[in-house]
Amino acid sequence: MNKASRKGEAIVLLSGGLDSATAAAWALAEGYSVTAISFDYGQRHRIELRAAKAVADDLGITDHVSIAIDLAAFGASALVDKSIDVPKNRSENVISNGIPVTYVPARNTVFLSLALALAEARNASSIVLGVNSIDYSGYPDCRPEFLNAFETLANLATKSGVEGTQFSLLAPLVSLTKPEIIELGLSLGVDYGLTTSCYDPKENGQPCGECDSCVIRAAGFSAVNMLDPRVTSFTQPEETNRGPNC
């Protein structure tokens, strides 16, 4: 991926998750003027859209576009087809092998194409996303070779690219582990209590604690010796004052 030669307008894919929130904070810290884009694509964890808005508001991102597309119409993924169970209680070793049933067919290709359209409309030359080494171990549309190929496509398939604006696809977290991402986000002031990563949350947004994403997130916070603020926000304090015994 090319490094941006100057700071300017950037489109950030903001899902409401830990990684995308960190990527958005990184873009702001680097001096980009950020437009965020989120997707309502028929995902079973639509709670992430509320999280994305909360993160955008907290970071001071006022230009936040939400796009509705129906990837659930295609099915074939546990994230959009409720007849397919979300995998639970898998070890990190199992999670890191093979493409999981939570892979949504061509999702990132679709998302990046829409982000590219928005970039061209906003005269932005950079697109930022939060994919990382944990993601691309299991998802082909998170891998560096895919990102490089899409950057090439962006510069071949757009009016702006043909006329001289070089688009850059920036993945600042791509080589980082989950603990490293959390540490980066904390240094940038990200409020991880606003983010959600769970693939199968309860109706109130409480994470299941058992899906692959919850397992990876929990391990990341454990590695930095920190409680996950998203989880603790749902923990009810113990009742300490029961009154006198009768």
Question: What are the tens digits of pLDDT across the range 21-42?
Answer: 999 999 999 999 999 999 999 9
Residue 5 has pLDDT above 70, yes or no: no
pLDDT reported for residue 243: 43
**pTM for the predicted model, two decimal places:** 0.92
pLDDT reported for residue 241: 42
Spell out the domains of the chain, with CATH numbers in brackets: 9-229 (3.40.50.620)
The DSSP-derived string for 118-157 is HHHHTT--EEE----HHHHTT-GGGSHHHHHHHHHHHHHS
pLDDT reported for residue 236: 56
